[in-house]
Every structure is written in C-alpha cells, then in structure tokens.
A = this chain, B = another copy of it.
C-alpha cells in the first residue's frame, strides 16, 4: 500500500499542484442553472469532477455545502466522492472535524475507512482539542494509507488572536501544531518519503508572524487562498520557500465561476500555471 504522502507526491509530479475546490455555494448553483437542493449539489459536484479528471491531481469537496441538505446532501456527496476516486483524482474531504477519543475515531472511520460510503483519501481536521486528541485518527489514517490535514495557520483575520497566542514556552499555537504534526510524520515516514499528515496553511499567511518554520520530513501543505482570494501561482516560492513543491494550491471561486460549459477550459488554463514543466 502506497502512503497518502507518496500518492500526493506522485500525482502532483504528474499533474501539477492545482487543487480544484468543489464548493457548491447557493449563488454558484444559481449561476450554473441548478437548484439549491441535494440534486443540485450532486450535479454540480459530478460536473466538476468530470471537468477536473485527468487535468489536476487533487479535488477538495467542501462538506458544509452538501451537509446543508441533510442526509440527501450527504448521499449526493457520496456519489461525488466515488466518482472522483474512480477517475483517479485524489480527494480531500474538507470537513474540519475535531473531537476527542472514540468520538473523533468515529469521524475518522466515517471518512477514512476503505469501503465506507464517505471514503476520501484525506480529511481536514481541527486541533482545538489538542493535536494529541487526534492520535486515534493519525493511527487510523496511517493504517489505511490515508492522509490528514490539520488546521495550523489560516489567513482569515478573525483567527489571528487565537492562532498567534503563545504557549508557556513562547511558541505560537500555529507553530506548536506544526511541531506536533511533524513529530508524528517523523515517527511514521520512511527516509526520503513524504509524510501523510499535512497541514492547512493559508496561502497569504505571514510565516514569520505566525512563528512557522520549514519542517521535515516533507508533508503536503493544503494552501487555500489561491486565485480569487489573492495568492498567485508565481508566488509559491516566495510564500512557501523550500516547501513550495509540497503545496497543494486550492482554488475554488476563480475556477467555478467559469460556469459548467467553460469549466474544463478554465481548469486546464489554471492547472498549467501550477506545473513545474
């Protein structure tokens, strides 16, 4: 079984670093001529998967826009997840789940167990209850060759007071999360490979201000904030330094606003900007 970290590495080497966010906002559904319903988000998701297949390495469905429609929305999401994985796209379920003990384990089982209806390749998780509270989830993910992305430093201004707070030893909350996640990669990653436990670091985050430093072993960084939100592909090096090759650059609105008919062309155009070749 190839680990998630190595699968992401190979997929990005082949198709570049662009990740297409699948965010069926109500206003986008309207623009696409779809209903604000479970059927609408299903259609939106399937069309986006179809357009992205073969062009990018990773897609990232935003779970809240499916959860909005309850169990019917989740059934739609299951179809979208399955379709994406069948076409060979890696799927990050952006759910930001976070709890403790067996409660957290149940979330990990839902999203990361092979054969589960909501099976994805990786899940975003929240460390508010402590990175250590996610240890059952790290264990489960590793066992199944799945990945995690732990929220570490986000770009929204409301997050700064909490994420820049300092531990008793002076380290920022964001830096401590990075340290804790890196320690878990160090314990579980063979020499020369990428770790499977990634971090969410906003594309426009100031690393110095956040107290962040380059880490090893390399592990994928999910970077929202590209495209519409202001960061551009040519800035990858300036923003992420030596870790730039590990950045999964997520764009949503800048792509989805093209509408269903121009979607594949837009993805193709944006994807080129995030390719090394």
A residues lining the B interface (CB < 8 Å): 23, 25, 62, 64-65, 67-75, 77-78, 96-104, 106-107, 109-110, 116-118, 126-133, 151, 154, 156-168, 173, 176-177
Most chain B CB atoms below 10 A, which of A25, A71, A160: A71
CB within 8 Å for A71 and B68 given contacts A156-B130, A159-B130, A162-B127: no
CA distance A23 to B101 in the complex (A): 13
Copies in the complex: 2
> Cβ of A164: which chain B residues have Cβ within 8 Å of it?
167-168
Contact present for B151 and A162 (CB under 8 Å): no
Contact present for B173 and A103 (CB under 8 Å): no
> Cβ of A128: which chain B residues have Cβ within 8 Å of it?
98, 126-128, 151, 159, 162-163
Q: What are 12 A-B interface contacts by the 8 Å CB criterion? A: A67-B106, A67-B110, A68-B109, A70-B110, A101-B156, A126-B128, A129-B154, A133-B159, A162-B173, A162-B177, A164-B168, A165-B173
Contact present for B70 and A117 (CB under 8 Å): yes
Specify the main secondary structure of chain A where it touches its partner.
helix
CB within 8 Å for A65 and B159 given contacts A74-B70, A128-B127: no
Q: Which residue of B lies closest to A113 (CB)?
A: B68
New A-B pairs, 16, CB < 8 Å, besides A25-B102, A101-B156, A128-B128: A68-B106, A69-B110, A69-B117, A70-B78, A70-B110, A70-B117, A71-B71, A71-B74, A71-B78, A71-B117, A100-B156, A128-B151, A128-B159, A129-B156, A130-B158, A165-B165
